[in-house]
Chain A
Amino acid sequence: AQSVTQPDIHITVSEGASLELRCNYSYGATPYLFWYVQSPGQGLQLLLKYFSGDTLVQGIKGFEAEFKRSQSSFNLRKPSVHWSDAAEYFCAVDPVLTSGTYKYIFGTGTRLKVLA
């Protein structure tokens, strides 16, 4: 079955430390891949997306993600975390290339806490 896995439910890092959030997907082919961020009580905002080409993609707020086909992963990274990065992060795939449907699949999210 098609799925997206975010193995870390909670992550706590100190301000200024580096961050990596993990995302693995299970599909027959490479789908479109996304990372979204959600502040408490708010909607989701797109951080970055991967469609094709360069496997290292840059996003907003200093985030980047690397697509690794061999590992079916799309991990999100940031070199130095700021207190304002505390939020919940969702990895998502758009399987339109493989299934022809427009039903995004979301991971269950990783909640990031930042220590001052």
Chain B
Amino acid sequence: DGGITQSPKYLFRKEGQNVTLSCEQNLNHDAMYWYRQDPGQGLRLIYYSQIVNDFQKGDIAEGYSVSREKKESFPLTVTSAQKNPTAFYLCASRDRSGANVLTFGAGSRLTVL
């Protein structure tokens, strides 16, 4: 079945370390997104990519970086510059030619120790 795979599900990091969250989709979707979720704040957009080799900052991009070298993959790096990285991270994709519906992965929970 087609879908989005996020890994790892849980990740612990020491302060000062960079970590990379993986997001892979086999839906052949053009657009991919990274959201951060904190209790009571809904979903906030970190980065999004409409096509390969192109991406745009979302509302809270500081301290994060992404790449889009392949259509299927959109990894997110949480850098040491991110002041409060402990959160639940969600990756999503959308078929731009279709119904404008976002398909989500199961999420990755990052905890900074």
Contacts and interface: CB of A to CB of B under 8 A. Distances in A.
Interface residues of B, number: 28
B11 to A, nearest CB: 14
B34 interface: no
A9 to B, nearest CB: 7
Contacts of B48: 102-103
Interface stretch (A18-26, A75-83, A106-114): A106-114
Contact of A104 (B50, B102, B106): B102
Contacts of B58: 103
Contacts of A45: 104
Size range of the chain A interface in the assembly: 20 to 34
Nearest to B58: A103
Contacts, number: 58
Interface in A26-75: 32, 34, 36, 41-46, 49, 51
Interface stretch (B13-21, B66-74, B76-84, B92-100): B92-100
A104 to B, nearest CB: 6
Nearest to B31: A102
Nearest to A34: B101
Given A9-B40, A44-B102, A96-B100, 7 more contacts: A41-B107, A43-B92, A44-B43, A46-B101, A51-B99, A90-B42, A103-B48
Interface of B: 4, 6, 31, 33, 35, 40-43, 45, 48, 50, 58, 88, 90, 92, 94, 96, 99-107, 109
Interface of A: 9, 32, 34, 36, 41-46, 49, 51, 90, 92, 94, 96, 102-104, 106-109
